Copies of this chain bind each other. A is one copy, B any other.
Amino acid sequence: MSGVAVRNIPRAGAADVEALARFGVATLHEAQGRTGLMKPCMRPIYAGAACCGTAVTVIGHPGDNWMLHVAAELVRPGDVVVMTVSADNGDGMFGELLATSFRARGARGLVIEAGCRDVGELTRMQFPVWSRAVSAKGTVKATVGSVNVPIVCAGVAIHPGDVVAADDDGVVVIPRLRAAEVAAAAAAREKKEQETRRRLAAGELGLDIYGMRDALAKAGLTYLDEPPSET
């Protein structure tokens, strides 16, 4: 089961990444047609964590974090490392030492479909991690995986160089070639929502703002003035 590590990958443009970084994950997911969202088991290790960058992808073996060391060398400033494992595993594959290395190399964060440890230290460092588990369980360095190949992480297919955005709501992947288009759609969406927000705050109803009353009636919703008597 030998693996490969790819040194140079095409990355989404820095301007597009910065444009995307202004939006939350929920907005980006909607702007992209409700696609690209990782499963909700992926949670930030501290409240308020947020990051956006280009993906360096990693696939490893359960209980083995060797490939994260390989990834550290291939990271460029602005990257987010995204790792999956060949089988469900929650071991603490990443901690404060690797975070020190990742930060020194310019990584903005880590998304890992496995476990994370040293979460107290990482919180103090404000190094953001999204993982499916927190565990002090250490790992071996025995079996080779791959870096910068296409992977599936938490239910989403991701290519090296795609954009990864993450916040309190989860993690979304924007394909490299769609970055500009999705940033534009997100901006349009957010602009429209400002007006909606103002009207909702004033007490107007979504039923009226979105014109839902007819569709509800047609779909069979009946209003009653009082509860029906129980049978």
A interface residue numbers (CB < 8 A to B) = 1-10, 24-26, 29-30, 33-35, 37, 39-40, 43, 46-48, 50, 61-64, 66, 69-70, 72-73, 86-92, 95-98, 100-101, 103-105, 115, 117-121, 123, 133-138, 140-144, 148-150, 152, 155-157, 160, 167-170, 172, 175, 177-178, 193, 196-197, 200-203, 205-207, 210, 212, 215-216, 219-228, 231
A9 partner residues in chain B, CB cutoff 8 A: 227
Please state the number of chain copies in the assembly: 6
Smallest CB separation, A229 vs chain B (Å): 12
Complex CA gap A172/B117 in Å reads 13
Complex CA gap A100/B198 in Å reads 9
Whether A40 pairs with B224 at a CB distance below 8 angstroms is no
Do A63 and B89 form a contact, CB below 8 Å, given A9-B227, A33-B1, A220-B2?
Answer: yes
